[in-house]
Amino acid sequence: MARPSKLYLVCYNSLQALGWFVALLRLLPCLAPPVSVHSAYAVAGDLICVLQTCAILETVHAAIGLVPTAPLLAFLQWGGRTHFVLAVVRQIPEVHSSPSVLITFMAWSISEVIRYSHYALTTLKVCPSWLTYLRYTAFIPLYPIGVGPGEMWTMYQALPFVKKRNLYSGRAGVLSVPVAEAVHACVQATQVEAGKGEQEETSLRKF
C-alpha cells in the first residue's frame, strides 16, 4: 500500500473512532438520572447520522481497492444502517424518545469504537492483542442486542407512522403497507396465542 493511502486510512478510521467515542460519551449519561433513556436521539442522533452517512466512503475504499472488502458487501452494510437512521428514525420524531433507540445507538457506538480503532492501529501495525480479541468477540453480544431490542423494535414502532404518512413512494411504497400489516398481524397473532395459553392454564388450575 502506498504511503498516502496508508495515511489516509489511518486518518479516516481514527476520525470515525473519535466520532463514535464522542457519541458514546453523550449516550452514557442517558443510563442514569437525571438524564432520561428517552433522550438518546436528542443528545447523539445528529452526530450518529453524520458519522453513518460519511461511512459511504468505505464502499469507495472497497471499490478502488484500498481495503480487501467486496464493494457490494460494504454498500449493503452501509445502506442498511443508513436507511434505518436517516429514512426511519430521523424522519419519525415519534420514535426519537423510544428506549430502543438508546439500545441501538449504544450497541452501534461501542462496536464502532472497537472496529475503527482496530482498523487504524492495524494499518499502523501496532494493534494490541486485546483489541483484536474485542474486535472479533464483542459483536457476539452487541449484534443481537442492537438488532433485536434495538433496530427491530424501533422499526416496529415506526411502522404505523410509515404507513400513515406514506413515507415511501413508488415501488417502495407498494411494499411498505403490506410489510407493515404483515408485521402487525404476526405480533397480534402472537399476543392472541399467548392469551389463549393463559386462559387454558387458568381453566386447568380451576380443575
Q: What is the mean pLDDT of the chain?
A: 84
* Residues 91/108, Cβ–Cβ less than 8 Å: no
pLDDT over threshold 50, residue 178: no
- Per residue in 59-117, pLDDT (tens digit) is 999 999 999 999 999 999 999 999 999 999 999 999 999 999 999 999 999 999 999 99
pLDDT above 70 coverage of the chain, percent: 80
Model pLDDT, residue 34: 75
- CA 26 – CA 29 distance, rounded (Å): 7
- CA 173 – CA 151 distance, rounded (Å): 21
Can you tell me which residue has the cell 452494510? 77
Tell me the pLDDT band of 48, cut-offs 50, 70 and 90.
very high
pLDDT over threshold 60, residue 51: yes
Active site residues: 143, 151
Can you tell me which residue has the cell 447520522? 49
Instruction: Provide Rg for the chain, Cα atoms.
Output: 21
User: pTM of this prediction?
Assistant: 0.79
Model pLDDT, residue 195: 52
HSE-up of residue 98 (Cα within 13 Å, Cβ side): 23
- CA 114 – CA 81 distance, rounded (Å): 17
Annotate the chain with three-state secondary structure.
Answer: CCHHHHHHHHHHHHHHHHHHHHHHHHHHHHHCCCCCHHHHHHHHHHHHHHHHHHCCHHHHHHHCCCCCCCHHHHHHHHHHHHHHHHHHHCCCHHHCCCHHHHHHHHHHHHHHHHHHHHHHHHHCCCCCHHHHHHHHHCHHHHHHHHHHHHHHHHHHHHHHHHHHHCCCCHHHHHHHHHHHHHHHHHHHHHHHHHHHHHHHHHHHHHC
Which residue pairs from 68-73 have beta carbons closer than 8 angstroms and sit at least 24 positions apart in sequence? none
